[in-house]
Amino acid sequence: MAKRYGTTGELVGKRVLRDKSTPKKPEAVGRLGKVRHCVFHPNQRRFVGFIVKRPDLLWMFRRKDVFVAYNGYDVIDGRIVVLQKPEATDKGACRALGVDYDDCVLWADLPVISEDGTVYGIVGDVSFDPKTGEVRSLTVSQGATANALLGVKEIPGSMIRGFKRGIGTALAVNGAADEENPVLGAILVGDEVAELAAEGGLAAKAGEATAVVADRARETVEAVKPAVSGATKAAGKAVNAGAYATGRQIKRASGMFSAFKEEYDKARKDDD
């Protein structure tokens, strides 16, 4: 049985080869490029494939990216090898998948927002069924420092409503961002996400000594949320059409989590 990856983290950055086998050279392959982005269905919780960035020709001329379907490759000896069949890439893949490539969405770094307007962070790693592409779960990132101290929240697929237009962060449409009339997008999740506990993190391991850190961290997040939430509510009417080439990374306040480390160190010293 063909092996395929089941998370975006396993795919992004991987080198990609193209199957060039012939009867005389059954193991022949050619270099294609590297996985640049993972692509999701515009209306369903489903991973549909990934974009491969090809190396520039003679280091000068940019070559067109290649879209590879989620089932259009095999993993052989740890390497991604794109199949020769026409439904594995580009237009043939889109026809087989029943999607319009220009309507598909990149989930990476989109804000994760609940139905009541709570902003939890941005999309981190996404897990999906390698056989069908159905999303199983996603992790929410709040930045390296917050993740290390407070842990990471993993949201199951049943709580993920999917991509929502008209809220969130500005997207690039047809490869360009419109700063005057931005198209907004986010991943909408159910309100029950609030009941999920974060996993890992130094605060959880350190126990009672870091209870103060967790409280201060939440206060800091709540203080920053109004500015982010204000942007999500200033969306106006939802956009009905547009080609989502990429999601612009949500702006992170440079000092947003700097106080977490200070409070953590203080709590540890007091406990000692």
Read off the pLDDT of residues 60-70 as tens digits, 9 standing for 90 and up.
677 899 999 99
Q: Where in the chain is the domain with CATH 2.30.30.240?
A: 8-103
DSSP labels for 10-44? HHTT-EEEEE---SS-TT-EEEEEEEEEEEE-SSS
Mean pLDDT of 86-91: 96
- What CATH number labels 8-103? 2.30.30.240
Distance CA 145, CA 257 (A): 6
Q: How confident is the model over 210-230, as pLDDT tens digits?
A: 444 444 444 444 444 444 444
**Do 139 and 214 meet the contact criterion of CB atoms below 8 Å apart?**
no
Q: How many CB atoms lie within 10 A of CB 158?
A: 10
Quote the pLDDT of residue 102.
Answer: 87
- Which residue type occupies 77? D
Q: Is 230 helix (H, G, I), strand (E, B) or coil?
A: helix
- Rounded to the nearest integer, the mean pLDDT of the chain is 76
Q: How confident is the model at residue 21 (pLDDT cuts 50, 70, 90)?
A: very high
Backbone angles phi and psi of 57, in degrees to 5:
-75, 120
pLDDT band at 206 (very low <50, low <70, confident <90, very high): low
pLDDT in tens, 107-166: 998 999 999 999 998 999 999 999 999 999 999 987 655 555 566 899 999 999 999 988
Among residues 204, 215, 210, which one has the least CA distance to residue 267? 210
- What average pLDDT does range 260-267 have in this prediction? 47
Contacts of 112 (CB under 8 A, 6+ apart): 119, 120, 121, 122, 123, 138, 140, 155, 186, 187, 189
Bridge partners of 137, per DSSP, are: 127, 156
pLDDT at 123: 93
Quick check: 57 pLDDT over 80?
Answer: no
Q: Which two tokens mark 100? A: 């319009």
